[in-house]
Structure 1
Amino acid sequence: MSAETLSAEGDTRSFLGAIIRNPYQLGAIAPSSKAVARLAASVVPDTKGAVVVELGAGGGVISDAIRDRLPQGGRQLAVELNGDMVRHLRRSRPWLEVVAGDAGDLSQLLRRAGVARADAVISSLPWTLFHGDQQKHVLDEVSTVLAPGGTFSTVITLTVVPFRRFWRFRELLDRTFATVDTAGTVWLNVPPALVFSASTPLGTQGDG
């Protein structure tokens, strides 16, 4: 069995164990597939020294895809709230800057890490587990830290599309960013998922 296979199995075991202990923090039934990870990480710029921040790194599958695309001299940080996943990431990926904390405190967490702006923010947060104010607050934090010309991408599973909180989130994307696109749908994922990409923050908007 290859080292890569053993690593993937360790990621899955850690992820599933964390779900059992705290299902409402992770909001997923399995780690993202490599296809989803590559699509989410496609927004990583090729600019030397780029800073990329991941929200809700979980088992680290997307972290690996980001690392594969990270340009020379780039900096990669992963913000993770779940304690089990923080320990797993630090143990399995010593090259990754793991920041233990809530994405709702993103600007403060990055300041503590010595980061002023991020060239890309990549998320697999469980948006439909957040109420409307939480969704808006995290998106406002993302727009605050995103550098000019930067891009935000986020993974959404198709199972949540029928729910009102998904459509609330989708509306907030349009109210937070000037450009919002569907990067693609990945059917070979459990469950199938799509990735949104967004750029050019409009600034903090009132809920109206």
Structure 2
Amino acid sequence: MDDTITPRDRFLTQRNAESWMFLIEAARDLRTTGAVAPSGKALARVLTEPVRTQAPHPLAVLEAGAGTGPVTRALIPQLSRGSRLDIVEANPRFAARLRGLVTAHPHLAATSAQVNVHQTYVEHLDTDQRYDVIVSGLPLTNFTPVQVERIMARYLELLHPGGTLTYFAYLGTRKARALAASRAEARRHAAVDEIMAAYQRTHATGRWTVWANLPPAYVWHLQRPLASADTDRLVPQPDRASR
């Protein structure tokens, strides 16, 4: 009997364990976990595109709401020598898993990239660092309008002028929520949608549709203006489909 464990076997075992952990945490608190499955490879690739396009320059990158780390695993191999990645995750069990992922990742042994995991909320992140790219996995539609405003304001504060924020939202959830939510929940969702639409009108540089994810998702790229006095509005590019 051959007991050899192939890389594919390790990958499948890790993915299954990750999915079960995500389900358990979603059952504990769906509002802050935000989904019932980790982000897929196609979604992670589109979310991390701004990092990939700026290589091989050293970058400062922030990932917020990293969960079990599917996007983190896509980010780390793209970090150029001298880059920095700060990972923010409030869930203590997810944060512990992310620290293990970072410690064991082979790419970091061959580069001087600095990676740190912070168990906190992004609004409470104590840093003077400014970032070239912020990748957000936070379930913004699950938060109150006040929380969303605070998170988005913090994101823009943490970005360098000209820096990029990437985040995603699932397709079809607005109609599903309208059918199932209470009147108060429907009002909250509508208010959050209005806030995000205003940020999209002002800062969006692109939107992609990722069909090869469960569930399918939109990915938005927003950019902080190059100067605070810049009042020009950036118009979203036509929607692109990613497979």
Q: Same fold (TM over 0.5)?
A: yes
Provide the C-alpha distance between the structure 1 equivalents of 2:195 and 2:74, rounded to a whole number of angstroms.
25
Cα pair distance change 1:182/1:48, threshold 3 Å: closer
Aligned twin of 2:234: none
**1:61-94 CA-partner distances (Å, limit 9, x unpaired):** 1111111222221111110111111111112332
- Is 1:41 the counterpart of 2:44? The answer is no
- Is 1:89 the counterpart of 2:116? The answer is no
Kindly provide the amino acid, as one letter, of the partner of residue 134 in structure 1: Q
Aligned twin of 2:119: 100
Following superposition, the deviation at residue 47 of structure 1 comes to 5.2
Secondary structure (helix, strand or coil) at the match of 1:28 reads: coil
Runs of 4+ in structure 1 deviating by more than 3 angstroms, as ranges, are: none
1:186 to 210, 214, 220: 210
- Does the CA-based 8 Å contact 2:58-2:80 persist in structure 1? yes
1:149 to 140, 146, 162: 162
Q: Where does the alignment leave 5 or more consecutive residues of structure 1 unmatched? A: 204-208
Kindly provide the amino acid, as one letter, of the partner of residue 70 in structure 1: L
1:19 to 26, 43, 51: 26
Secondary structure (helix, strand or coil) at the match of 1:194 reads: strand
Provide the C-alpha distance between the structure 2 equivalents of 1:39 and 1:65, rounded to a whole number of angstroms.
10
**1:8-30 CA-partner distances (Å, limit 9, x unpaired):** 22322222221122222111111
1:167 to 176, 181, 193: 193
**1:45-68 CA-partner distances (Å, limit 9, x unpaired):** 325321110010011011111112
- Is 1:129 the counterpart of 2:148? The answer is no
Aligned twin of 2:74: 65
- Does the CA-based 8 Å contact 2:148-2:192 persist in structure 1? no
Aligned twin of 2:152: 139
Kindly provide the amino acid, as one letter, of the partner of residue 164 in structure 1: A
Provide the C-alpha distance between the structure 2 equivalents of 1:200 and 1:102, rounded to a whole number of angstroms.
21
Provide the C-alpha distance between the structure 2 equivalents of 1:47 and 1:188, rounded to a whole number of angstroms.
28
Q: Where does the alignment leave 5 or more consecutive residues of structure 2 unmatched? A: 1-5, 106-114, 176-188, 229-243
Which of the pair has more CA radius of gyration?
2
Identity of paired residues, percent?
28
Worse-matched range after superposition: 71-80 or 193-202:
193-202
Aligned twin of 1:30: 37
Provide the C-alpha distance between the structure 1 equivalents of 2:116 and 2:43, rounded to a whole number of angstroms.
22
Kindly provide the amino acid, as one letter, of the partner of residue 19 in structure 1: A
Provide the C-alpha distance between the structure 2 equivalents of 1:27 and 1:159, rounded to a whole number of angstroms.
15
- Is 1:5 the counterpart of 2:12? The answer is yes
Provide the C-alpha distance between the structure 1 equivalents of 2:160 and 2:218, rounded to a whole number of angstroms.
24
User: 1 or 2, which has the higher strand percentage?
Assistant: 1
Aligned length: 195
Secondary structure (helix, strand or coil) at the match of 2:85 reads: strand
Following superposition, the deviation at residue 43 of structure 1 comes to 1.2
- Does the CA-based 8 Å contact 2:95-2:119 persist in structure 1? yes
